[in-house]
Each structure stands twice: as C-alpha cells, then as structure tokens.
Amino acid sequence: MRDYPGTHNISVCENLCVYSDADSTSTSAACILPPVPTAYSNQAFNLTEETVLNSGKYFGSSSSADHGVVFDGNNLNTYSESSSDCHVGMEFREGYVASLSKVKYIVSDIAKDYFIDKLAFEASNDGSTYTNLFTVDYNVGSGWNTHEFDSTSLPKYKFYRFKGSGSNSCKLNEIQLYGVETIDDSATTFACTPKLHVSGATTELSPVTYDGSITPLLQSISPRYGNVVGGEEITFTGTGFGTSSSDVTIMIDEVACAITSVTETEIKCTSGERKGLHEATLDITIANKGYVSK
C-alpha cells in the first residue's frame, strides 16, 4: 500500500484511510482513520467548514457538451445545450448528501426571457424524482445571481441540477454550490464498512464505529500566540483528553510541543523552537481516540 497508494488502499465511508508505515508489519496494514462528517458530527464538532462544493460528478442532458464547464470557475465558458428540455448538475458521493446554504449562478449574456420562469433549480435523492427548490424570476441579472436557503431548513440531497423548459434556457456560464458534503445521520454513533482496494478488486472488511461520546473536543487555547524560540507553556482546555501524558501528541506548526500534564479537561505542554517558515497548523492526537476536534 505504501508503494502503490493509487491502486492499493483502504477507504472508510468513501474516504481514504491514510497508510501508516510505522504501525504496519509485513503481514498487516494499518491506516489512520479519516474524519467522517455526519449531520451530528458537523454540528457537535464543526467537522466540516462550508465551502464551494466541487467534489461531485457532473451530469447533464447534452450528449456532446462538457457538463463540468459550468463548475470550472471560468465565467466566460457557456454550457452549450440549447434544447427546450435540458438540465445540468452535480451528483455527490454514494452515501452522502450536500447540505446547501446558497447557490450562485451566471446565465449566458442573452435575453432574460430565455430564463425567467423557464429555468428551475431542482434536487433529488434518487436521480429520478426531483423537487423544485426555486425558479429563476425577473430579478435575474447578467452577473452573479444568488439564492440563499432558509438556515432552519437547508436542503440535503444527493443530486442537484438546473432544469430548463425552454429553448436556450440552460445556457449557463457558471454554477457555485455553497455548503457541506455530509452523511445525513443525526445519531451520536455511525458505523462504516471499510473497503480494501487492490488492483481494481474490492473486499469489504469488518465495520468501524465512530462514537461522538468518546471524541475529544478542544474548547480554548492560552496563550493564543507565542514566540518562535519556544519554551513557553501552553494550556489546552476541552473535554475527553484522558489522564495519560504518554497518550497525547501535540504538533504546532509541525513542531512537537512537549507534554507536561494531562487531565480529562486540560493539557499543558511546552512549545518547541520553530525553525523557518511553516503553515500555521495544530494537530492533537490521543491514543485510541484519534484526533482532537478543534
């Protein structure tokens, strides 16, 4: 797996489980479990930040047009479907939905009448039966158009598409879907079946259960800033840390912070010297619990 990650790997909930050379042997492979976003984990641990979603598979009614052209970030490209029964959209991964906060889109620079009451934004979980989320009206402009959803009832679907019912009504230049890709499950635990992939063959392994009740949570850091020489005591406050110093690893900007004390709600460590320029990062891991949610 180390030498052929593209064809030999393990996935958990459709996410790559990163191979761990240090924990593997000649007869067994170990990997670091990836975070799995669910409705519960996103709310409880801020697991996934809202972003422009572009992780899905593009689809559309045209057999010749490039469906991805409306998601490519280039406002000058136009989806070249001109039929009166047309659509273009995005399908998300198996087992996942996209929870959208807003949609932004640019229509082609042609008469507004092609789009008003003829271009609708729809969603589906099976790719067959669609629900209308909104229809383009007379407010449509030649630049970015935005539709924001009610924060108390965000749509959660696997398929999203713009559907046209008139000639040229699908001539869009760009679409941006804002939100998070997540598993629509509100339970505190969630089980996934890991899959072993070897040269195109897939084998299902024993299920792995994610449990919110044992997930460590970071709530505050003091001080928030320090010098590059190191030697400063830093206090991390939260829940679920355990009590063993040997179980905790803290890396600040890729430099180890030496653990001095650990309780269930507090970790203290002494910062190390930061040499050169590094991206600002913080990783806290606890043995048998994984990453601490920040």
Neighbours of 97 (CB within 10 A): 22
- Domain 51-182 and domain 216-291, same fold? Reply is no
Burial label for 66, CB within 10 Å (0-12, 13-18, 19+), is middle
> Which of 222, 219, 223 lies closest to 239 in space, CA to CA?
219
Q: What angle do CA 13, 92, 117 make, to 5 degrees?
A: 155
DSSP label at 39? H
Q: In this structure, which amino acid lies at residue 95?
A: G
Strands (E), 187-281: 189-192, 195-198, 201-204, 208-211, 217-222, 233-239, 248-252, 255-256, 258-262, 266-270
pLDDT digits (tens, 9 = 90+) for 237-255: 999 999 999 999 999 998 9
Question: What pLDDT is stored for residue 142 in this prediction?
Answer: 87
Whether omega before 35 lies within 30 degrees of 0, making that bond cis, reads no
How far is the first Cα of the chain from the last one, in angstroms, to the nearest whole number? 30
Percentage of the chain surpassing pLDDT 70? 98
- Could you tell me the pLDDT band of residue 96, with boundaries at 50, 70 and 90? very high
pLDDT digits (tens, 9 = 90+) for 106-121: 999 778 999 999 999 9
Q: What is the mean pLDDT of residues 209-217?
A: 92
Q: What is the mean pLDDT of the chain?
A: 92
Q: Quick one: how far is CA 22 from the chain centroid?
A: 27
Residue 259, CA atoms < 13 Å, CB-side half-sphere? 18
Question: What pLDDT is stored for residue 2 in this prediction?
Answer: 57
Question: What pLDDT is stored for residue 65 in this prediction?
Answer: 78
Distance of alpha carbon 112 from alpha carbon 120, whole angstroms? 14
Distance of alpha carbon 188 from alpha carbon 186, whole angstroms? 7
Rg of the chain over all Cα atoms, to the nearest angstrom:
24
Percentage of the chain surpassing pLDDT 90? 72
Question: What pLDDT is stored for residue 6 in this prediction?
Answer: 64
pLDDT digits (tens, 9 = 90+) for 219-228: 999 999 888 8
Q: What is the mean pLDDT of residues 194-215?
A: 92
CATH fold of the domain at 51-182: Jelly Rolls (2.60.120)
Question: What pLDDT is stored for residue 1 in this prediction?
Answer: 54
Question: What pLDDT is stored for residue 226 in this prediction?
Answer: 87
Question: What pLDDT is stored for residue 165 in this prediction?
Answer: 95
Instruction: Determine which of 63-77, 182-196, 248-262 has the lowest per-residue pLDDT on average.
Output: 63-77
Burial label for 152, CB within 10 Å (0-12, 13-18, 19+), is exposed
Q: In this structure, which amino acid lies at residue 109?
A: D
β-pairing, 172-182 vs 159-164, is unpaired
- Assigned CATH for 216-291: 2.60.40.10
CB 240 within 8 A of CB 289: yes
Can you list the alpha helix ranges (DSSP code H) found in 163-202? none
Tell whether the model's pLDDT for residue 277 goes beyond 80.
no
Extents of the domains making up the chain: 8-34+191-212, 51-182, 216-291
